[in-house]
Structure 1
Amino acid sequence: MRITVIGATGMVGSCIVDEAANRGHNVVAASRHPNSTSTSSTTATRPRVQPMTVDARVASDLDIALTDADAAVLTVRAAPGQTTQFLSLTEAVLSATAHAQVPLLIIGGAGPLQSPNDPESFVLDDPEFVAEEWRELAAASVAQLEACRNHSTDHWAYLSPPAVLEPGACLGEYRRGTTALLVGQDGRSRISVEDLAVAVVDEIEVPSAERHFTVASR
């Protein structure tokens, strides 16, 4: 497969690029600054990985990045105070992938998942999982999912990670859920970035019918 990863030099995006390339897929590693991280400097010389300078706000850039793609991944976080711009970027990618007829998997946030403490509430509103300093970011993910649902096409899927997403070991296994936050026996909700990347490429290779889903460590 040919997979376009938008946001390829970030913590999540770079792991997705590596996982997809390791499985033998051809990857367009799209980013505004392809050489901005040490990870991207190594992927530049990797077989099957094509770094590409792409401004996701520019339709022509997206059209080039999506040429001949079989699937696309958007993994971009909202910067503080930039929710409006973040949503505009999401809508631009939704429109470009729809025009190119490329299925899109968006790596969002845990905010729009149902809280295990109150199924009638979002994780966004549960201070056990979202501290005050992270609330703006979590709220942006709720708005992002709503923007997807309001889009005129249905070629997208939205992956909400658990409450804690950080680098760690790649165990190659995970639990999968739908719209409720997954927690372990210790009450924690977490997954390594490496195992999230495994789940992402699994979904690309064998797409499910679920529009919104989540994963967590076993």
Structure 2
Amino acid sequence: MHLTVIGATGMVGTRLVAEALHRGHHVTAASRHPTRYECPGARSLLVDTSSGEGLDAAVAETDALILSVRTSPGQEDRLAPDTARVLDAAARADVPVLVIGGAGPLRSPTDPSRRVADDKTYVPNDWRPLASASAAQLDACRAHTGARWTYLSPPAILQPGERTGTYRRGTTTLLTAQDGTSRISAEDLAVAALDEIEHPGVNQHITVAESLDPGLGASPHIVGE
């Protein structure tokens, strides 16, 4: 399978590229600064989601597109229109898109009537602009006509860590552990993302979190709610 990762030089993007190559896929690593990250085996491509530069080349002759981008502080309002621009290009090429979004649009596990973006238990005040931007990003996906997309929300905490190959999968509600924490490593998020690409589910909005049983090691992933 030929996959294109937009945002390939970011914390999540580098793990997505590595996981895809590990599974034997052909990978195009697309970003605004492709020289910042050299990954043997991947083809580098200049893509700017703000201007649209390189988007048609990114979706040409690829089987699936993974969008994993973030905005700088103060520029959060660019995330939704940039995502819509990517969906436009994907729709023209009839290529499915997996959007690695944010936890903001998920439902709070303690109050399903509230979004995580509005729950200070999971989103401190200084994170709220990005959380709200991710909610707007999902709205942009839902409003788009013609594109085939899936939105993957990470848990509240997403950091570099260990690749265990396991995770729990949910839909529209934030997944938490018994102590109330909600986290996953960027490496295991990449595992979940590539699983979704290889074996697409029926839900357009999904989420994942770390496995509750660390003794599972590298066994297949766990399906949650």
Q: 1:201 is matched with which residue: 194, 203, 206?
A: 194
Tell me, in whole angstroms, the C-alpha distance in 2 between the residues paired with 1:83 and 1:58: 16
Instruction: Tell me, in whole angstroms, the C-alpha distance in 2 between the residues paired with 1:85 and 1:164.
Output: 22
Please report how far the alpha carbon of residue 65 of structure 1 lies from its aligned counterpart in structure 2 after TM superposition. Answer: 1.5
Per-residue CA deviations over 1:90-149 (Å, capped at 9, x if unaligned) read: 111010001111000000000000001101100011111000000000000000000111
Deviation of 1:11 after TM superposition, in Å, equals 0.2
| Residue 68 in structure 1 maps to residue 64 in structure 2 | no
Q: Which residue of 2 aligns with 1:30?
A: 30
Aligned position for 2:5: 5
Identity %: 55
Contact kept? 2:158, 2:183, Cα under 8 Å: yes
**CA offsets per residue over residues 145-181 of structure 1, 9 Å max, x none?**
0011111124000000000000001000000000000
Alpha-carbon contact 2:88-2:147 (below 8 Å) kept = no
8 Å contact kept, 2:19–2:191: yes
State the SS of the aligned residue for 2:190. helix
Structure 1 unmatched runs, 5+: none
Corresponding residue of 1:178: 171
What is the distance in 2 between the residues matched to 1:176 and 1:84? Answer: 28
CA distance in 2, matches of 1:132, 1:84: 17
Q: Could you tell me whether the CA contact under 8 Å between 1:108 and 1:144 is conserved in 2?
A: yes
Quote the residue 1:119 is aligned against. 112
The code of the aligned residue for 1:182 comes to L
| Offset from partner CA, 1:41-83 (integer Å, 9 cap, x none) | 3x0xx12x10111112344511111111000000011322213
Aligned residues: 211
1:12-46 deviation per Cα after TM superposition (whole angstroms, max 9, x unaligned) = 0000000000100000000010122xxx13x0xx1
1:93 matched to 2:114? The reply is no
**Are 1:146 and 2:139 an aligned pair?**
yes
Residue 213 of structure 1 pairs with residue 210 of structure 2: no
Distance in 2 separating the partners of 1:11 and 1:156: 22
Q: Secondary structure at the match of 1:120?
A: coil
Cα distance in 1, alignment partners of residues 154 and 180 from structure 2: 16
Query: Is the 2:63–2:95 contact (alpha carbons within 8 Å) kept by the matching residues of 1?
Result: yes
What is the root-mean-square deviation in Å for CA atoms of aligned residues? 1.0
Give, as a single letter, the amino acid of the residue that structure 1 aligns with 2:145: S
1:50 paired residue number: 43
Give the C-alpha shift of residue 87 in structure 1: 1.8
In the other structure, the counterpart of 2:185 is 192
Q: Is the 8 A contact 1:168 1:193 kept in 2?
A: yes
Secondary structure of the residue aligned to 1:198 is helix
Conserved? CA contact 1:6–1:13, under 8 Å: yes
Alpha-carbon distance in structure 1 between the residues aligned to 2:89 and 2:159: 30
State the AA in 2 paired with 1:18.
A
TM-score (norm 1): 0.94
Distance 1:59 1:132, change over 3 A: closer
Conservation of the 8 A alpha-carbon contact between 1:78 and 1:140: no
